[in-house]
Structure 1
Amino acid sequence: MKLQRIEAGEYLTADGRFYVRNTYYSNGLPGRSNTTKGWLIEDKSGLTPFQVSSNQKTKLRRVDTLTEAKEIIALVVECDRKEKISRDAGWRKEDNAQPPGVCWLSPYTGKLLTRSEALLELSLMS
């Protein structure tokens, strides 16, 4: 994942969706010391709520290295790309599906599947 440098310790993805900053150069999270080492990833679009705990989500994600931040951003972009492919092929994502993770409704079988199962079925049916 390629990041554009804005200024010391601040980067932005080419599309402007993700903003990454070094917490040493900025204030980081409110109430924290600015000497805490690490990087914060922010999804400016609000499409990616990062999981904090089982019932909490936030638009910020703290990581230890810039490389780790790039890997997470690349993973999110790849997941979004696969989700778009599934939606374009007629798949529907069910909100609050039970059990969790089984949320893709197959246009071929009418069953709810996990993302991996959905991508496998999509590749087999294409």
Structure 2
Amino acid sequence: MNAYIHSIMHFDENSIMNGDIDRLERARRRLLLRQSDVAAALGITQGHYCKVVARVVPLTDRLGEKIASWLDAYDSGAVGPPVDDGRIAALAASIQAQCAELLALTSARTVS
């Protein structure tokens, strides 16, 4: 293969991968995910994720494929913020307590 054509193909592949890294970071931030959340989904450590995003280490084909797959899932709506049952329960209890307080305050107002 002509060296010029090979360099263009290599540049295009790198551009696509770099574009995927940028999209990955935008999606992560939009979903309010931690780097460690996305790293776990990709099967890498948070430290390695950070280095890939900063382009300190090269993006391997295998990781590039995992990122592309994660982005496809994100685009289809299959990826969202993590669900924390403990946090949901805590919020529900807080809302319930606030509703009870509001009811008590409004009841006291109508009695007066």
More helix by share: 2
- Please tell me whether Structure 1 or Structure 2 has the larger radius of gyration of its CA atoms: 2
More strand by share: 1
| Bigger relative CO (Cα 8 Å, ≥ 6 apart) | 2
